[in-house]
Structures are given as C-alpha cells and as structure tokens.
A and B are shown apart, each in its own frame.
Chain A
Amino acid sequence: MSNITNQSLSEILKSIKSKKISSLELTQAYIKNIENAKKLNAFVTTTFDQALENAKKFDNKQNNEQLLSGVPLAVKDLFCTQNVKTTAGSNILNNFVPSYESTVTKNLWNNGAFLLGKLNCDEFAMGSSNETSFFGNVINPIGDHLVPGGSSGGSSSALAADLTPATIGTDTGGSIRQPASFTGTVGLKPTYGLCSRWGIVAFASSLDQAGPMTKTVNDCSIMLEAMSGFDEKDSTSINKKKELYSKNLKDNIKGLKIGIPKEYRVDNMPKEIDELWEKGKKILKDLGAQLIDISLPHTKYALPTYYIVAPAEASSNLARYDGVRYGYRSQKGKDLIEMYENTRSEGFGDEVKRRILIGTYVLSSGYYDAYYLKAQKVRQLIKKDFDDSFTKVDAILTPSTPSSAFKIGEKTNDPVSMYLNDIFTVPVNLAGLPALSLPAGLDKKGYPLGLQLIGKALDEQKILNIGYAFEKNCGYNNEIKKWWS
C-alpha cells in the first residue's frame, strides 16, 4: 500500500475498515510524507508521538462504527487543541498551549480521528496568501514560487501534497474556498452557525465559520457531518437535527435551477476564468439543471463592506492580547500602558496591526455612523440580493477566484490588490450562506481554477449533491508532481 496517501479520505476509510491497512501504517505513511515536505512549510507543529500512540490504540481495539475511524488529521492552527500549542500564525500566541479543545476538533476526535499536527495560516486568518504568518509563508505544491492561498494556506498545501487525508480550515471572507481553488481541492464554507466557533481563535465573529477541505466532494460530506452540530457554548450555534450529509449524497440534479449572476463577470477578469465558468454551466446543463440569469446588484459593494465589518470586529476581538493573561509580553515600557503598546506592537505583524487600526478608527467616536453603521446597512442590501435570488433558484454558480494562484511576493506591497482576490467569496460570508469551491480546470500555465456553488442557508446537502454530480462529469485530474521530496 505504498500509495495509500494519495487516495481520498473515503477510500482510506474503506481500507482501514477492511484491514487492508492499519491505522498505524497509515499514520506512519503520512509522517514520512510530512518529513519529506518540510520545504512547503505547511506545519507549525507536529504531534507525531501522540498520533502514533492513538493509531496503536485504534488498531488494538478497532471500532469501525465511527465516521472517521482510525484516521490521522492535521488541522489549521486556529483551532485550540488541548495541551498542543495553538498559535493562529502569530508571534503573540507563539507560546500559547490551550487547556481546552475546540468543539469542532473535539467532534472530529469523537468520530474516531486523531491529531497529526497544526497547519500554518495567515496571522489571525488575516490574509489571502499565507504570507502574513509569523512562521513564514507556505508554498503551494503546484509550484515552488506560488502562494497556496489564504488564510487556510497550510491546510490547502498539506492536503494537496498528501500530508493529511483531509483537513479543516476557517473562512471569514474566503479563507477556505480561495486556497482550495488555488490547490485544486474541495473546500466548503458552511452556513453561519452550523459549525461551532467555540475554541477557534476569533477574527470577525459575525463572519467566521469553520469548514472542511478535502480531495473529493464525498470526503467533504463526511467531514462536514463529523464536525458540524449544535453547541451550547457558541451563542450563535444553530439548534437543529444533525444531518447525514454523506449518507444522503446523491448525484441526480435534474430539474434544479442554477442562478448565474451577471455581476460576477468583473472588469479585467482573465478570459480563462470566463471559459471555466462556461464549462461549468455546460456540465450542469447537460446533467439536466436549468440555468437562470440572476442579478446580485450590490456585489461590488461587498468588499468595501467587508473591510469595515471584519476589521471592526477584529479590533474588538484582538483587544484581549494584552500580554497579561497569556501570550507574548514585551519587556520594554515603563508602565502598564507602555507594556500593552509594546507587547501589541512587537507581537502582531503588519497586516494585523493595519486591520486593528482600521477597525479602531471605524468604531471610534464620531466615525461610527459614517463607517460601521453604513456597512451594516449595505450588508443588509447584500443579504437581500441573495434572498431575492433564492426565491427563483436552488443554487448559484460563480468562479471561486478572479485568478489562479499568484506568485509569492506579488501582492504584498498593495493591500487593496490582495483584498480584491476575495471578490467572489466575501459576499457569501456577509450573507451567512454556505458555499462550495470545486476544482474545475487548469489555466494555460497549468494552475488549478475553481468554481463556487452558493446555496441557501442550511442547504449544504443540495450544493454537495450538485458538486458531487459536477465532479463526476468534470474530469478534473488532481495529480501533482511531487517536486519537493
């Protein structure tokens, strides 16, 4: 079983169930891959000893009743893991070891999986290229000069490079879907409130949502089923019956209405993205879906709205990093205030500081109405656009990103051009909807491109089903040459 690690999660689960491979052998195979892939810089922390022990424990008392029986998983380093360092990609949390486990990771472990390591990400999930991490940028396995996307860039890189059979990320403005698109993998941002935010390092609380990143749509449904569910400890968690996404996965999409929003054909969009979109439409049409032109008129205002709402919430959430209760503390400063100021100045990176300053400004006395209140009003209009469209269609098809993976360093000096990479993903977060990014083709340089399916709130099953049918008929080949080992 030398090639076990390039198989999908569902195939791996079958091999474990039928005892073709033990959990220990599987874990050892991933550890070997990780050790050979240090160049990618996808991991901040590895937990090999703990993983090997858990694998042995599983093999001794094999329980195949669980969704993720005997599978090692690496997760984004934004999820608090009990007794395992959790950094959020920041110097300010470089020595933070939580005494508790996030609900979402706990759900994975309760379903039979165990931790393999913690994956690099943009600092506090603020970034679209994984270049803002204190632990250095992550390399895209597609090419040594390319960013893996962000903020869940360690997750996308590790998944595409076969360093974990599946993973989880968080998505505040596209941080699951954009890196999935850049690496030819599947990424789902669930409906706001479907997965608990408890124990996840907070960025922008009204937008943050955890979700799966996987090699196939079926894998995505398995992971979502395992990680989602009501949690008392998150006041915005939705209390509803647990859904069996993997059991109910179907590829019949005949008669479904797919909306095509005209506003997503933006100025200067590369021809290849347009062609990819056309290809996607044709696949769905051939499968019996009906394409319907729709309008989401406030789309162009989504990013400016996001860059008020997200920094405002971030400035409030990140006020807790004061060098007193946990995290880094500066040794400089003659009094308490100076200690705070130096701690935060030395502990945070430039992008995080920039966003805290934007957020502090838009919430400050005299400016609140002009910025924050205005943004909340426009957010209402953006949500209404989607509500109106979803009276006519079952799902919406768009490109995931306006470009394929860009070069390392290409956008670091121009924050606005970096922000524009999230133009197709951000509206979904503002409206709290679920959206799935699917690998759909390659550009002329051979880099992956993704398409996005947006669903109604809590309609994950439908977009997974459409994605499942799409995947079977798309013929996307996710084989990557392993140049790094």
Chain B
Amino acid sequence: MMNATQRMILALAISLEISLTKSVTLNVVLFSVAFLLLLIRRQPLKKIGLYVAIAIIPVLGSFWSFYLYGQGTAAENLHFGLVMGSRVLVFIFIGAWLTMGMTPYVLLASLRQNLKMSATFTYGILGALNFMPRFKQAFSSIQAAGMMRGEVLRWWQPTLYFKALVHAIKWSKNLAMAMTSHGFQEGASRSAYRDYPMAKSGWVLIVLILIALQVILFFSRY
C-alpha cells in the first residue's frame, strides 16, 4: 500500500514522535508491531537475530546510563532509562522495517519521481554506491602504503581521509565521464522505465497509524 517514499515519511514521523515523547507503552507497542511485521513478511530469522544482536548493547547501555546515573528519583530514573532503552529498540526495528525488501535504488528512484529530486542527484548517488565495497580495499591499501614507508596512519590524522578523498576524486571523475558518455545530461528530461506511484490508500494508512499513535499516547500511563 505504501511505496518507498511513503514508508520513509512514516518512519521519519514515527521516529520524530518517539524522540519527543516519553512513553514506554508507545515504544513497546511500536517495537512489537515492527517485529511482527518482520516475521509476517518472512524476513530470514538470521537477519532478525542480527538486528536483535545489534540492539542489545545500545539498548542496555542507554537504559543503564539513565537508570544508574540519572538526576531524578529512583522511579523517575527507571522510567527514563526504560524510555531511552526502548526508544533505541524502536529506532532499530523501524529502521529494519523501512529497509526491509527495499534497496537504495528503489528508495532513490521513488524519491526522484515522488518528490521531484533531480536526476543528477539520484543517479550520482546511485553510481557512488557501487564504490562502497571498493573503499574497503582502498582503505587497506592506503594503510599498507603508509606502513611500507614506515608510517602508521592513524584515524585522527588527516592523511588517511585525504588519501580516501584522492580515490573518491578519481572515481567520481571516471564514473561521471562514463555516465556522460552513456548519454546522461544534467538537467535533460529522461524517460522512466518503471513507475513508483504513491497510492492514496498508503496516505490513509499513514494518517490512521499516526492517529493511533496519538491515541496510545493519550491513554499511556507509563
């Protein structure tokens, strides 16, 4: 019902809402719904397990630091610790729901069609994503190049970033030339092989969900 753009809007609205409210109840409801959706959509259990694993430390960390070291009474600290811990949980699982079955390609193409993002940005960003794995290699060869010369490049030194940028500049030029040579012209009109329409039913759903959130908040006592 919702396309990628609508899902992103909803995810942002939810995260804004829970960032500015302190309801453990709402957070638990949102987490449960997102978790169930992952199960219903048959996401591999291994992947869900990975999200749980990612969540454990920051959730406990957020909880403990507010529970143990908060400035209020013990009850207030417990409440605030639970709010902060469950908030991280919601962030991670709403993030998982958002990225579930959605590639950066679909998201960017939808944003382009739905929100009139420029083609230069859409395809420039998409092209850049292909280099993600190559940065890993580049990073090891930069460090090796340093060590071969008796230097250890530390992460707080500018050289490491500068050398990564040298790669980035070279790649951006090569790829931009190739894309230009394949007919990409900044600002020119293009055809669309696929459509990413935003359905009305999706908007209705978003509104209903947001109303439901307010209702839960209204009745939430913790």
Partners in one complex: no
- Interface residues in chain B, defined as those with a beta carbon under 8 Å from any beta carbon in chain A: none
